[in-house]
Amino acid sequence: MDATYWLAPLKFIIDTLSTLYSGAILLRLLLQWVKADYYNPICQFVVKITHPLLRPLRRAVPSVGRFDLASLVLLLILQILTMLLLASLPGVTLPGLFGIPVLAIMRALELFFDLYVGIILGSALLSWISPHSNSPVASLLYSLSDPLLEIARRRMPDLGGLDLSPLVVLMVLELARMMLMPILQQLFRLLN
């Protein structure tokens, strides 16, 4: 078999593992920001898998209030390492030195938007299917989505019990993505 036969599956595995671990790091950052229940089993899992890499980094990078700066730095480092690892494979080119951090920020922002869209959709579906669920997943989804949904609910008129705040938040998230990503793509083109 040709050596290039294994390139696509290898790229897929590297990118998938990086995205999953990056998602766990981002989730930990968000869980700390919203002060989610630390004893939730999912929170415990996220803390256990991210702690080995975050512990040494926290000595050098302090938190700023409720914002865990070390998690953000680790997320960006992981994105850069993923790009370098993928670029070491044949047929993949690495962007310029100044383009790498911009691309890392773009990848992290895409992950943030995708994760939050999933969180909002998940909490909305769960509120329809099982509105009074006390499961760890429901608790976690509500903890992560409620801060954004409450902002939308306060600004919306009363619609007779119909809650359209998830739709509003999803639209705002997509608008933010549509506005931020082209700016970063233009910056990437300039620096690359």
Mean pLDDT of the chain: 90
158: Cα separation from own chain's centroid? 32
32-64 pLDDT tens trace: 999 888 899 999 999 999 999 999 999 998 888
Q: With 90 as the cut, is the pLDDT of residue 23 above it?
A: yes
pLDDT exceeds 70 at position 3 = no
How many domains is the chain built from?
1
Look-up of token digits 């897929």: 12
Which pLDDT value is given to residue 66? Answer: 77
CA distance 104 to 91: 20
**Tokens at residue 81, please?**
């390492």
Q: What is the dihedral of CA 56, 41, 26, 180, to 10 degrees?
A: -170
Spatial distance between the Cα atoms of 133 and 139, rounded to a whole number of angstroms? 8
Name the residue among 70, 72, 82, 101 with its Cα closest to residue 19: 82
Cα 25 to Cα 31: distance, rounded to the nearest angstrom: 10
pLDDT at 20 over 80: yes
Tokens 């990848």 map to which residue?
Answer: 107
According to the model, what pLDDT value does residue 150 have?
93
**Is pTM beyond 0.95 here?**
no
pLDDT given at position 1: 61
Which residue is listed with tokens 């991210």? 50
Range of the domain at 74: 3-191
Per-residue pLDDT band for 91 (boundaries 50, 70, 90) equals confident
Pairwise CA distance, residues 140 & 171, whole Å: 22
67: helix, coil or strand?
strand
Whether 171 contacts 152, CB under 8 Å: no
DSSP-derived letter for residue 64 is B
**Cα torsion at 136, 139, 140, 146 (round to 10°)?**
170
Number of CB atoms found within 10 A of residue 107's CB = 21
